[in-house]
Amino acid sequence: MRQYPGTMLLLAGVLILFGVEQAVGAVGNDARLLALGAIPDDGTMGAEYWRVFSYAWLHAGSAHLVANGALLWWVGRIVERRTGSLPMLGVYLGCALAGGLLIMWKASMYPKPGTSLGASAAVSGLLTCALVLLHRPSAAGFGRALWVRVTLWAVLVSGLAISSLPGVSLAGHAGGLALGALLGFVVPVRRSDALTSSALRK
């Protein structure tokens, strides 16, 4: 687990915030979710731009949290193993921001009741980043098992289908997916031999 401190940090963050949601009775309560940092879907965010980050730490319920947490645990480690902790965290936060900005834009153009929240945009970005990394020759030293790539593609297709369902933020997912794929091509890949040597010393 010590090889993936970034992934563990992110998981701890969303778990702690979900605990806060439960403690204050915010789960399923739009008013309290807004107070914690969700993005209002009616376009009334005003100058509260911090919400483009805070929304990504909140979840609508246990199922929402488990789905995002499980995918984060998987794809976060794939990206972190190949890039290191700080770049992986940068990808996650950048994709959360991209998703938040698109959600905010959509809310201003097409207002409706409700709130937008969840780590889906950021985790979707890690998913596409992981897919690109698994196809980059420079990352081949970390392993590129065919079953992993096929499964990631299947999850991506499923995620795109889910994004079209009512109540799911297509804008947020699209922002995360697009930026994650782009960053997958440009994020530096760490040296696989250095990682192996470090593991052998433990």
- CATH number for the domain spanning 52: value is 1.20.1540.10
pLDDT at 99: 95
The answer to the question of residue 127 being in a domain is yes
The answer to the question of residue 17 being in a domain is yes
- Of these residues, 85, 116, 120, 169, which one is catalytic? 120
pLDDT at 194: 47
pLDDT digits (tens, 9 = 90+) for 149-159: 888 999 999 88
Closest CA relative to residue 180, chosen from 66, 105, 71: 71
Q: Domain range for residue 24? A: 5-195
The answer to the question of residue 200 being in a domain is no
| Structural domain total, the chain | 1
Q: Is this prediction's pTM over 0.85?
A: yes
Cα separation, 189 vs 136, in Å, equals 9
- When pLDDT is cut at 50, 70 and 90, the band that residue 28 belongs to is confident
Whether 173 is catalytic is yes
As a whole number, mean pLDDT of residues 64-93 equals 96
As a whole number, mean pLDDT of residues 144-166 equals 83
Closest CA relative to residue 5, chosen from 91, 96, 87, 80: 80
The answer to the question of residue 37 being in a domain is yes
pLDDT at 115: 92
pLDDT at 143: 67
As a whole number, mean pLDDT of residues 176-195 equals 86
Cα separation, 23 vs 35, in Å, equals 14
On the question of pLDDT at 101 being above 50, the answer is: yes
On the question of pLDDT at 111 being above 80, the answer is: yes
- Of these residues, 173, 192, 197, 198, which one is catalytic? 173
Geometric angle at alpha carbon 173, from 143 and 112, rounded to 5°: 170
The answer to the question of residue 156 being in a domain is yes
On the question of pLDDT at 110 being above 80, the answer is: yes
The answer to the question of residue 202 being in a domain is no
The answer to the question of residue 201 being in a domain is no
Cα separation, 191 vs 83, in Å, equals 9
Distance of alpha carbon 28 from its chain centroid, rounded?
A: 21
